[in-house]
């Protein structure tokens, strides 16, 4: 039996570039680092003792100093409608984190969390109703992908940073995890199959653009007009104007040569009238160049029970309600007729509270 040291560390928190350093410091050849990366990220090993081509004393050393899994699956619900699976994990400090497996005919995508709770508290979002506890570490972020791959027995081919939390407010851990996800020797997931969704933290979008990650960016815009947006997302927490968010997003997509997605959750009577949609089209026409790649994802609001818990101090107490199906189609056609690529994103796992805005308690 392996003797453990008192303060073991979480191995997935070590950036793969740092693995070589620790292997050499432990008196082993540097080339072992690449073998270990293959075991941990490609073969998804969760116990060093199974790494058969690694010398026994190095396996023992790693087992004594590091652990490979930090979270446990505490709950799992599968949708009877579309095969979506919602997972609840427990962290080592006993906090709940959610992730969702979203299978389609040709892709196996996961939606993962970047924080425990969310400091933004969007009024329409169940995650926002969960008090912000802490950032997830880089290891805890990639562990969600490993855990869902292992539990479903499927290779993951796409990742959405759209679970709990605002990814850009956990900047370093998220960037580090994206580098692992796209690295050919680790997860090897295509850059265009990873989407990072942000509520619009302007300076951090611009900083992210310079990282050249090449992944897709989605802006949770939901309105063309700052007054309407303020009724959904507190300006106290996100004090940026829509035009500045859009310009930052376009800067990102031009730098990374990726399509920018504008997410537009449609609420009955709040942002679904034709006057609002005309303003939305005007906003796009004023800022988007003909060479820009842009897509609008229309998402029908999923009723959550958390609405009334949000927007403390808000002057507007509009009750949020899902739009009618015809309205969604009407908006989509309206945008398409004006040469804007628009799709209706169908809810996944709505029966198990795994759809957009429902990840919470
Ligand atoms: S929509 Fe995103 S940013 Fe807003 S509360 Fe939910 S998780 Fe946080």
Strand order of the β-sheet with 108-111 is: 72-78, 85-90, 96-103, 108-111, 158-161, 194-198, 216-220, 260-266, 294-300, 342-344
CATH, domain 9-67, list 3.40.50.300, 3.30.420.40, 1.10.150.530, 3.40.190.10: 1.10.150.530
Domain boundaries, the chain: 9-67, 72-352
Q: What is the CA radius of gyration of the chain?
A: 21
3-state secondary structure of 319: coil
Alpha-carbon span 232 to 245, nearest angstrom: 16
CATH of span 72-352: 3.20.20.70
**Cα 154 to averaged position of ligand 1 atoms, centre (Å):** 28
Atom of ligand 1 nearest to the CA of 165: 7
Atom of ligand 1 nearest to the CA of 129: 5
Q: What are phi and psi of 178, to 5 degrees?
A: -65, -40
**Cα 358 to averaged position of ligand 1 atoms, centre (Å):** 10
Q: Are 286 and 294 in contact (CB under 8 A)?
A: no
Q: Are 197 and 149 in contact (CB under 8 A)?
A: no
Alpha-carbon span 17 to 19, nearest angstrom: 6
Question: Per the residue annotation, which of 51, 122, 125, 356 is the catalytic one?
Answer: 356
Q: Which of 165, 219, 232 to mutate to test the pocket of ligand 1 (most atoms within 8 A of CB)?
A: 165
Q: What is the pLDDT along the chain (361 residues), one digit of tens a residue?
A: 445 556 899 999 999 889 999 999 999 999 999 999 999 999 999 999 999 999 999 999 999 999 999 999 999 999 998 889 999 999 999 999 999 999 998 999 999 999 999 999 898 888 777 889 999 999 999 999 999 999 999 999 999 999 999 999 999 999 999 999 999 999 999 999 999 999 999 999 999 999 999 999 999 999 999 999 999 998 888 999 999 999 999 999 999 999 999 999 999 999 999 999 999 999 999 999 999 999 999 999 987 645 544 444 444 445 799 999 999 999 999 999 999 999 999 888 777 676 666 666 5
Q: Which residues of 11-40 are buried (b: 16+ CB within 10 A; e: fewer)?
A: bbbbebeebbebbeeeebeeebbeebbebb
Whether 51 sits among the annotated catalytic residues: the reply is no
The model's pTM: 0.93
Alpha-carbon span 121 to 115, nearest angstrom: 13
């Amino acid at each position: 039996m392996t003797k453990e040291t008192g303060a073991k560390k979480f191995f997935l928190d070590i950036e793969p570039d740092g693995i070589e350093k620790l292997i050499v410091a432990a008196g082993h050849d540097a080339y072992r680092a690449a073998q270990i990366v293959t075991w941990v990220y490609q073969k998804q090993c969760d116990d060093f003792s199974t790494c058969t081509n690694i010398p026994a004393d190095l396996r023992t050393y790693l087992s004594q100093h590091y652990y490979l899994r930090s979270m446990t699956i505490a709950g799992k619900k599968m949708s009877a409608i579309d095969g979506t699976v919602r997972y609840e994990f427990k962290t080592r400090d006993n906090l709940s984190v959610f992730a969702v497996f979203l299978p389609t005919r040709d892709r196996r995508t996961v939606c993962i969390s970047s924080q425990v709770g969310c400091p933004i508290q969007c009024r329409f979002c169940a995650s926002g109703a969960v008090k912000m506890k802490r950032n997830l570490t880089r290891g805890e972020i990639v562990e969600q992908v490993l855990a869902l791959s292992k539990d479903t027995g499927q290779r993951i081919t796409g990742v959405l940073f759209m679970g709990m939390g605002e990814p850009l407010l956990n900047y370093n851990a998220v960037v580090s995890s994206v580098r692992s996800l796209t690295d050919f020797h680790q997860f090897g997931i295509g850059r265009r199959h990873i989407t990072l969704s942000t509520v619009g933290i302007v300076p951090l979008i611009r900083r992210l653009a310079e990282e050249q990650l090449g992944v897709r960016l989605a802006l949770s815009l939901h309105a063309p007009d700052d007054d309407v947006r303020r009724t959904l997302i507190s300006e106290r927490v996100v004090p940026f104007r829509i035009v500045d968010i859009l310009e930052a997003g376009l800067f990102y997509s031009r730098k990374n040569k990726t399509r920018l997605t504008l997410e537009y959750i449609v609420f009955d009577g709040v942002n679904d009238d034709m006057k609002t949609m005309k303003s939305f089209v005007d906003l796009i026409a004023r800022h988007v160049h003909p060479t820009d790649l842009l897509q609008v994802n229309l998402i029908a609001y999923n009723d959550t029970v958390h609405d009334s818990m949000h927007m403390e101090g808000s002057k507007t107490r509009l009750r949020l309600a899902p739009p009618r199906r015809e309205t969604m189609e009407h908006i989509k056609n309206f945008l398409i007729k004006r040469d804007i690529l628009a799709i209706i994103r169908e809810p996944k796992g709505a029966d198990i509270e795994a759809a957009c805005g429902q990840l919470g308690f």
